[in-house]
Amino acid sequence: MNALQKRIIELKTERKAIILGHNYQRKEVQEISDFLGDSYGLSVQASKTDARTIVFCGVDFMAESAKILNSEKMVLHPNLKAKCPMAAMVDVKALKDLKAEHPGAPVVSYVNTSADVKAESDICCTSANAVKIVQSLPDKKVIFVPDTNLGLYVQRFVKEKEIVLWPGYCPTHVNIRKTDLQKLKKLHPAAEILVHPECTPDVIDLADFAFSTEGIIKHIVSSPKMEFIIGTESNMLHRLRKEARGKTLYEVPNATCPNMREISLEDVRDSLQKLQFKIELPADILRKARVPLERMLEAGR
Ligand code: SF4
Protein backbone atom coordinates (compact mmCIF):
# COMPACT_ATOMS: atom_id res chain seq x y z
CA MET A 1 0.00 0.00 0.00
CA ASN A 2 1.49 3.41 -0.91
CA ALA A 3 1.52 6.57 1.26
CA LEU A 4 -1.59 8.02 -0.38
CA GLN A 5 -3.54 4.81 0.13
CA LYS A 6 -2.48 4.77 3.81
CA ARG A 7 -3.65 8.38 4.21
CA ILE A 8 -7.03 7.43 2.72
CA ILE A 9 -7.41 4.59 5.22
CA GLU A 10 -6.66 7.02 8.10
CA LEU A 11 -9.18 9.55 6.81
CA LYS A 12 -11.74 6.83 6.34
CA THR A 13 -11.42 5.81 10.00
CA GLU A 14 -11.62 9.45 11.18
CA ARG A 15 -14.76 10.02 9.13
CA LYS A 16 -16.32 6.66 10.11
CA ALA A 17 -16.73 6.08 6.41
CA ILE A 18 -16.99 3.07 4.16
CA ILE A 19 -15.60 2.94 0.61
CA LEU A 20 -17.63 1.02 -1.95
CA GLY A 21 -15.76 0.32 -5.17
CA HIS A 22 -17.12 -0.99 -8.44
CA ASN A 23 -15.25 -3.84 -10.13
CA TYR A 24 -14.39 -1.53 -13.05
CA GLN A 25 -12.49 1.00 -10.91
CA ARG A 26 -8.75 1.55 -11.31
CA LYS A 27 -6.62 -1.12 -9.62
CA GLU A 28 -5.32 1.30 -6.94
CA VAL A 29 -8.87 2.41 -6.07
CA GLN A 30 -10.01 -1.21 -5.85
CA GLU A 31 -7.20 -1.80 -3.34
CA ILE A 32 -8.56 0.76 -0.82
CA SER A 33 -12.23 -0.26 -1.19
CA ASP A 34 -13.96 -2.01 1.73
CA PHE A 35 -16.27 -3.79 -0.68
CA LEU A 36 -15.82 -4.49 -4.35
CA GLY A 37 -18.71 -5.59 -6.45
CA ASP A 38 -21.12 -5.04 -9.29
CA SER A 39 -24.06 -2.62 -9.11
CA TYR A 40 -26.27 -5.14 -7.32
CA GLY A 41 -23.66 -6.25 -4.77
CA LEU A 42 -22.82 -2.65 -3.94
CA SER A 43 -26.53 -1.74 -3.62
CA VAL A 44 -26.85 -4.54 -1.07
CA GLN A 45 -23.79 -3.28 0.83
CA ALA A 46 -25.14 0.28 0.72
CA SER A 47 -28.47 -0.89 2.16
CA LYS A 48 -26.76 -2.82 5.02
CA THR A 49 -23.98 -0.51 6.17
CA ASP A 50 -24.05 1.25 9.53
CA ALA A 51 -21.21 3.61 8.52
CA ARG A 52 -22.15 7.32 8.71
CA THR A 53 -20.59 8.20 5.39
CA ILE A 54 -20.43 6.24 2.14
CA VAL A 55 -17.74 7.11 -0.42
CA PHE A 56 -18.94 5.65 -3.69
CA CYS A 57 -16.24 4.89 -6.26
CA GLY A 58 -18.30 4.22 -9.34
CA VAL A 59 -20.35 6.24 -11.81
CA ASP A 60 -23.09 8.77 -11.00
CA PHE A 61 -26.14 6.49 -10.94
CA MET A 62 -24.44 4.11 -8.47
CA ALA A 63 -23.75 6.89 -5.96
CA GLU A 64 -27.36 8.05 -6.41
CA SER A 65 -28.62 4.52 -5.72
CA ALA A 66 -26.57 4.43 -2.50
CA LYS A 67 -28.18 7.73 -1.46
CA ILE A 68 -31.67 6.51 -2.35
CA LEU A 69 -31.17 3.45 -0.14
CA ASN A 70 -29.54 5.51 2.67
CA SER A 71 -31.18 8.92 2.48
CA GLU A 72 -30.20 9.78 6.07
CA LYS A 73 -26.47 9.12 5.40
CA MET A 74 -23.88 11.23 3.67
CA VAL A 75 -23.03 9.75 0.27
CA LEU A 76 -19.93 11.17 -1.42
CA HIS A 77 -19.04 10.80 -5.10
CA PRO A 78 -15.32 11.61 -5.42
CA ASN A 79 -15.38 12.84 -9.03
CA LEU A 80 -18.51 14.20 -10.69
CA LYS A 81 -17.04 13.56 -14.15
CA ALA A 82 -17.57 9.82 -13.55
CA LYS A 83 -20.90 9.55 -15.39
CA CYS A 84 -22.41 6.60 -17.24
CA PRO A 85 -23.23 7.46 -20.88
CA MET A 86 -25.82 4.66 -21.06
CA ALA A 87 -27.73 6.07 -18.07
CA ALA A 88 -27.76 9.42 -19.90
CA MET A 89 -29.52 7.81 -22.90
CA VAL A 90 -32.93 7.89 -21.16
CA ASP A 91 -34.84 11.05 -20.43
CA VAL A 92 -37.93 11.22 -18.27
CA LYS A 93 -40.12 13.03 -20.82
CA ALA A 94 -39.51 10.38 -23.53
CA LEU A 95 -40.03 7.60 -20.96
CA LYS A 96 -43.38 9.11 -19.94
CA ASP A 97 -44.37 9.21 -23.66
CA LEU A 98 -43.43 5.53 -24.04
CA LYS A 99 -45.47 4.64 -20.94
CA ALA A 100 -48.46 6.45 -22.47
CA GLU A 101 -48.02 4.42 -25.69
CA HIS A 102 -48.10 1.15 -23.69
CA PRO A 103 -50.59 1.79 -20.89
CA GLY A 104 -50.35 -0.66 -18.00
CA ALA A 105 -46.96 -2.08 -19.03
CA PRO A 106 -44.59 -1.92 -16.02
CA VAL A 107 -41.21 -0.28 -16.46
CA VAL A 108 -38.22 -2.46 -15.58
CA SER A 109 -35.18 -0.26 -15.36
CA TYR A 110 -31.65 -1.53 -15.30
CA VAL A 111 -29.91 0.01 -12.25
CA ASN A 112 -27.81 1.94 -14.77
CA THR A 113 -30.37 4.75 -14.82
CA SER A 114 -30.64 8.15 -13.16
CA ALA A 115 -32.69 8.67 -9.98
CA ASP A 116 -35.32 10.55 -12.07
CA VAL A 117 -35.78 7.54 -14.34
CA LYS A 118 -35.93 5.14 -11.38
CA ALA A 119 -38.67 7.34 -9.93
CA GLU A 120 -40.72 6.58 -13.11
CA SER A 121 -40.00 2.82 -12.90
CA ASP A 122 -41.82 -0.10 -11.30
CA ILE A 123 -38.83 -2.30 -10.52
CA CYS A 124 -35.07 -2.21 -11.08
CA CYS A 125 -32.80 -5.04 -12.19
CA THR A 126 -29.11 -5.78 -12.80
CA SER A 127 -27.61 -8.07 -15.40
CA ALA A 128 -27.46 -10.74 -12.67
CA ASN A 129 -31.20 -10.78 -11.99
CA ALA A 130 -32.82 -9.21 -15.10
CA VAL A 131 -34.29 -12.52 -16.35
CA LYS A 132 -35.67 -13.43 -12.91
CA ILE A 133 -37.16 -9.95 -12.40
CA VAL A 134 -38.92 -9.85 -15.79
CA GLN A 135 -40.18 -13.43 -15.28
CA SER A 136 -41.55 -12.50 -11.86
CA LEU A 137 -43.93 -9.88 -13.27
CA PRO A 138 -47.49 -11.02 -14.02
CA ASP A 139 -47.81 -8.67 -17.03
CA LYS A 140 -47.65 -9.88 -20.64
CA LYS A 141 -45.85 -6.74 -21.78
CA VAL A 142 -42.99 -4.87 -20.05
CA ILE A 143 -40.99 -1.77 -20.92
CA PHE A 144 -37.27 -2.36 -20.45
CA VAL A 145 -34.83 0.59 -20.17
CA PRO A 146 -32.18 1.56 -21.17
CA ASP A 147 -30.03 -1.33 -22.45
CA THR A 148 -31.35 -2.89 -25.67
CA ASN A 149 -28.75 -5.67 -25.56
CA LEU A 150 -29.66 -6.70 -22.02
CA GLY A 151 -33.36 -6.55 -23.00
CA LEU A 152 -32.69 -8.81 -26.02
CA TYR A 153 -30.81 -11.21 -23.75
CA VAL A 154 -33.78 -11.34 -21.33
CA GLN A 155 -36.14 -11.98 -24.27
CA ARG A 156 -34.24 -15.22 -25.05
CA PHE A 157 -35.47 -16.66 -21.72
CA VAL A 158 -38.85 -14.96 -21.44
CA LYS A 159 -40.53 -15.85 -24.73
CA GLU A 160 -44.07 -15.49 -23.40
CA LYS A 161 -43.76 -11.72 -22.79
CA GLU A 162 -43.41 -8.79 -25.14
CA ILE A 163 -40.44 -6.65 -24.12
CA VAL A 164 -40.59 -3.05 -25.34
CA LEU A 165 -36.96 -1.99 -25.73
CA TRP A 166 -35.27 1.37 -25.37
CA PRO A 167 -32.50 2.23 -27.89
CA GLY A 168 -29.72 2.50 -25.26
CA TYR A 169 -26.44 0.62 -25.04
CA CYS A 170 -23.19 0.50 -23.13
CA PRO A 171 -20.43 1.92 -25.37
CA THR A 172 -17.83 -0.24 -23.60
CA HIS A 173 -19.68 -3.54 -23.96
CA VAL A 174 -20.58 -2.96 -27.62
CA ASN A 175 -16.83 -2.53 -28.23
CA ILE A 176 -16.35 -6.19 -27.34
CA ARG A 177 -16.38 -7.68 -30.84
CA LYS A 178 -17.00 -11.15 -32.17
CA THR A 179 -13.92 -10.93 -34.45
CA ASP A 180 -11.62 -10.16 -31.49
CA LEU A 181 -13.06 -13.11 -29.55
CA GLN A 182 -12.60 -15.38 -32.57
CA LYS A 183 -8.94 -14.33 -32.91
CA LEU A 184 -8.31 -15.08 -29.23
CA LYS A 185 -10.09 -18.43 -29.51
CA LYS A 186 -7.87 -19.38 -32.45
CA LEU A 187 -4.78 -18.63 -30.35
CA HIS A 188 -6.16 -20.39 -27.25
CA PRO A 189 -8.54 -23.14 -28.43
CA ALA A 190 -8.95 -24.68 -24.96
CA ALA A 191 -10.17 -21.41 -23.44
CA GLU A 192 -13.82 -20.87 -22.58
CA ILE A 193 -15.36 -17.56 -23.71
CA LEU A 194 -17.21 -15.65 -20.97
CA VAL A 195 -19.07 -12.40 -21.71
CA HIS A 196 -21.75 -10.17 -20.20
CA PRO A 197 -25.45 -10.07 -21.14
CA GLU A 198 -24.89 -6.39 -22.10
CA CYS A 199 -22.78 -7.50 -25.09
CA THR A 200 -24.27 -7.61 -28.60
CA PRO A 201 -26.30 -10.73 -29.57
CA ASP A 202 -23.63 -12.06 -31.99
CA VAL A 203 -21.05 -11.96 -29.18
CA ILE A 204 -23.42 -13.76 -26.79
CA ASP A 205 -24.10 -16.42 -29.46
CA LEU A 206 -20.38 -17.07 -29.83
CA ALA A 207 -19.64 -17.16 -26.08
CA ASP A 208 -19.81 -20.29 -23.94
CA PHE A 209 -21.57 -18.35 -21.18
CA ALA A 210 -22.99 -14.88 -20.50
CA PHE A 211 -22.85 -13.91 -16.83
CA SER A 212 -22.85 -10.80 -14.66
CA THR A 213 -19.48 -9.83 -13.18
CA GLU A 214 -20.13 -11.79 -9.98
CA GLY A 215 -21.32 -14.71 -12.11
CA ILE A 216 -18.07 -14.64 -14.12
CA ILE A 217 -16.00 -14.74 -10.92
CA LYS A 218 -18.00 -17.65 -9.46
CA HIS A 219 -17.80 -19.60 -12.71
CA ILE A 220 -14.03 -19.22 -13.13
CA VAL A 221 -13.30 -20.12 -9.50
CA SER A 222 -15.49 -23.25 -9.54
CA SER A 223 -14.77 -24.46 -13.10
CA PRO A 224 -12.27 -27.29 -13.74
CA LYS A 225 -11.18 -25.37 -16.89
CA MET A 226 -7.89 -23.48 -16.66
CA GLU A 227 -8.13 -20.89 -19.47
CA PHE A 228 -10.75 -18.24 -20.14
CA ILE A 229 -11.26 -15.45 -22.67
CA ILE A 230 -12.93 -12.65 -20.72
CA GLY A 231 -15.28 -10.34 -22.62
CA THR A 232 -15.64 -7.71 -19.94
CA GLU A 233 -14.40 -4.27 -18.95
CA SER A 234 -10.63 -4.49 -18.65
CA ASN A 235 -10.26 -3.19 -15.05
CA MET A 236 -12.30 -6.18 -13.91
CA LEU A 237 -9.34 -8.40 -14.79
CA HIS A 238 -7.49 -7.10 -11.73
CA ARG A 239 -10.07 -8.57 -9.34
CA LEU A 240 -10.47 -11.73 -11.43
CA ARG A 241 -6.72 -12.42 -11.39
CA LYS A 242 -6.66 -12.05 -7.60
CA GLU A 243 -9.63 -14.32 -6.99
CA ALA A 244 -8.87 -16.93 -9.63
CA ARG A 245 -5.20 -17.61 -8.98
CA GLY A 246 -3.75 -20.39 -11.09
CA LYS A 247 -6.18 -19.77 -13.96
CA THR A 248 -5.11 -18.06 -17.18
CA LEU A 249 -7.28 -15.16 -18.34
CA TYR A 250 -7.12 -13.56 -21.78
CA GLU A 251 -8.32 -9.98 -22.11
CA VAL A 252 -10.23 -8.58 -25.11
CA PRO A 253 -8.91 -5.32 -26.63
CA ASN A 254 -10.61 -1.90 -26.41
CA ALA A 255 -12.84 -2.71 -23.44
CA THR A 256 -11.96 -0.01 -20.92
CA CYS A 257 -14.75 2.22 -19.62
CA PRO A 258 -13.19 5.72 -19.53
CA ASN A 259 -15.95 6.98 -17.22
CA MET A 260 -15.10 4.42 -14.55
CA ARG A 261 -11.43 5.45 -14.71
CA GLU A 262 -12.19 9.09 -13.84
CA ILE A 263 -11.86 8.48 -10.08
CA SER A 264 -8.26 8.68 -8.82
CA LEU A 265 -6.78 8.10 -5.36
CA GLU A 266 -6.34 11.89 -5.03
CA ASP A 267 -10.10 12.30 -5.66
CA VAL A 268 -10.90 9.76 -2.92
CA ARG A 269 -8.55 11.52 -0.47
CA ASP A 270 -10.06 14.95 -1.26
CA SER A 271 -13.54 13.53 -1.00
CA LEU A 272 -12.88 12.29 2.55
CA GLN A 273 -10.93 15.41 3.56
CA LYS A 274 -13.40 18.00 2.22
CA LEU A 275 -16.55 15.84 2.37
CA GLN A 276 -17.15 16.31 -1.34
CA PHE A 277 -19.18 15.82 -3.51
CA LYS A 278 -22.35 15.19 -1.56
CA ILE A 279 -25.18 13.50 -3.43
CA GLU A 280 -28.37 15.50 -2.88
CA LEU A 281 -31.70 14.51 -4.43
CA PRO A 282 -35.16 16.06 -4.10
CA ALA A 283 -37.31 14.39 -1.42
CA ASP A 284 -40.02 13.22 -3.88
CA ILE A 285 -37.40 11.62 -6.19
CA LEU A 286 -35.76 9.90 -3.21
CA ARG A 287 -39.10 8.53 -2.08
CA LYS A 288 -40.29 7.37 -5.52
CA ALA A 289 -36.91 5.97 -6.68
CA ARG A 290 -36.58 3.91 -3.50
CA VAL A 291 -39.60 1.77 -4.40
CA PRO A 292 -38.19 0.03 -7.54
CA LEU A 293 -34.77 -0.42 -5.92
CA GLU A 294 -36.25 -2.02 -2.82
CA ARG A 295 -38.45 -4.26 -4.98
CA MET A 296 -35.29 -5.46 -6.75
CA LEU A 297 -33.49 -6.14 -3.47
CA GLU A 298 -36.57 -7.97 -2.16
CA ALA A 299 -36.76 -10.11 -5.34
CA GLY A 300 -33.05 -10.90 -5.02
CA ARG A 301 -33.43 -12.43 -1.54
S1 SF4 B 1 -19.20 0.11 -18.46
FE2 SF4 B 1 -20.93 0.85 -19.66
S3 SF4 B 1 -22.67 0.76 -18.27
FE4 SF4 B 1 -20.79 0.69 -17.01
S5 SF4 B 1 -20.38 2.82 -16.50
FE6 SF4 B 1 -19.19 2.36 -18.34
S7 SF4 B 1 -20.58 3.02 -19.98
FE8 SF4 B 1 -21.86 2.85 -18.16
Mind giving me the DSSP string for 145-181? ESBHHHHHHHHHH-TTSEEEE-SB--TTGGGS-HHHH
Average confidence (pLDDT) over 31-53: 90
pLDDT digits (tens, 9 = 90+) for 206-259: 999 999 988 999 999 999 999 999 999 998 999 899 999 999 999 999 999 999
**257 C-alpha to center of ligand 1: Å?**
6
At 232 the three-state DSSP class reads coil
pLDDT > 90: what percent of the chain?
Answer: 91
Residue 301: pLDDT over 80: no
pLDDT, position 300: 67
pLDDT digits (tens, 9 = 90+) for 157-207: 999 999 999 999 999 999 999 999 999 999 999 999 999 999 999 999 999
Q: Which residue has the least CA distance to atom 8 on ligand 1?
A: 84
The pick from 149, 257, 262 for probing ligand 1's pocket by mutation, whose C-beta has the most ligand atoms within 8 angstroms, reads: 257
Order across the sheet with 17-22: list the strands: 35-37, 17-22, 53-57, 74-76
**141 C-alpha to center of ligand 1: Å?**
27
Name the DSSP class of 191.
P
Q: Which residue has the least CA distance to atom 2 on ligand 1?
A: 170
pTM for the predicted model, two decimal places: 0.93
**107 C-alpha to center of ligand 1: Å?**
21
Query: What value does the CA radius of gyration of the chain take, rounded to a whole number of Å?
Result: 19
Closest ligand 1 atom number to CA of residue 171: 7
Residues with CB under 6 A from ligand 1: 24, 59, 84-86, 112, 170-173, 233, 257, 259-260
At 275 the three-state DSSP class reads coil
